[in-house]
Amino acid sequence: MTHWDVHHLPRADGKTFLVTGGNAGIGYFVAEQLAGSGATVLLGSRNATKAETAMASIRSRVPDARLGHLRLDLSDLSSLESSVDSLEIERLDAVVCNAGVLLEDQPRRETAEGLELTFATNHLGHFVLAHQLMPLLEAAEAGRVVTTGSFVGKSAELDLDDLQSERDYQPKRTYARSKLAQMLFAFELDRRLRAAGSTVLSVVDHPGGALDSLTPARPVHPAPGGRKFPAGLLLQGKEAGAWPAVRAVLDPAVRGGEMFGPRVFGLRGEPRREPVRGKLADTALAARLWAASVGLTGIGVTR
């Protein structure tokens, strides 16, 4: 395989990518970098004003960027079908399932549909979105579902009897569980796509340790403050945290069921393929989570 250079990406002219949560954080930098490849990049965001600010920021760095906004509220599962129906495209080459919430120091909250907010937004919203997008992904030559997991998700323990965190809600633990669920879903999705003979691939990425204080300034991200040392020796900013997702979208050598993360201890550096092991390779756990997700949402994903 040729060396992957994060600063010299392959061209993707004529392709269309959707980045959920593309208006801020790591999702913004994924969108900015993908825009530099010549693709059309759609920013999935609930807030049109924030999406416009993000698109203006991207255009200031990529003057010929082809951008659009898709109103997307992953916490409102019933709205996702109409959001996808509003897309005026014939195919979608990749969706980056990046958006997520971490409700630190807040009590447990539920969506209008009665689902715990973090799990519903991070996992179930993307579960439903992938189902709604599948016809557009299958219309592409080789569509990709790229799911952004988390380093903390690798060490989480998923309680299939309490996916809604009703018994003992702890915000950070609930977040970690939702990210583990996303990664398990992505690997199970690829197994099901392969079994169905689909051309769509499902790939996982994670950003390692991506800190605001190490992130370059953008209009959607204020200039970082505070000391960067010694965190900069082990961690990185969100611009670099976007690299694994961008590689998962653009690298022609990527295969379904693979995972990409930062090179150095999985925390920082250029993106590389990582082994899939432990809980992430537990096919029985993933199948049980899939069945539970179908039960909570009422839909499957592959058609």
Task: Write out the DSSP string of 136-185.
Answer: HHHHSSS-EEEEE--TGGGG----TT-TT--SS--HHHHHHHHHHHHHHH
Instruction: Report d(CA 262, CA 244) in Å as an integer.
Output: 7
Written as six digits, the tokens of 183 are 């990664």
Q: Give residue 154's pLDDT.
A: 87
So what's the pLDDT on residue 233?
56
**What pLDDT is attached to residue 74?**
97
Catalytic annotation present for 169: no
Contact 62, 38 (CB under 8 A): no
DSSP letters along 223-238, please? Answer: PP-S--TTHHHH-EEH
How many other β-carbons are positioned within 10 Å of the β-carbon of residue 203?
27
Does this model's pTM top 0.85?
Answer: yes
Q: Which of 28, 29, 175, 243 is catalytic?
A: 175
pLDDT at 211: 64
Dist CA 28 CA 26 (whole Å): 5
Report pLDDT for 213.
61
Average pLDDT of each block of 10 consecutive residues along the chain (303 residues)?
A: 86 98 95 98 97 97 97 97 96 97 90 95 98 98 96 89 93 95 98 97 90 70 58 74 97 98 81 95 97 92 59
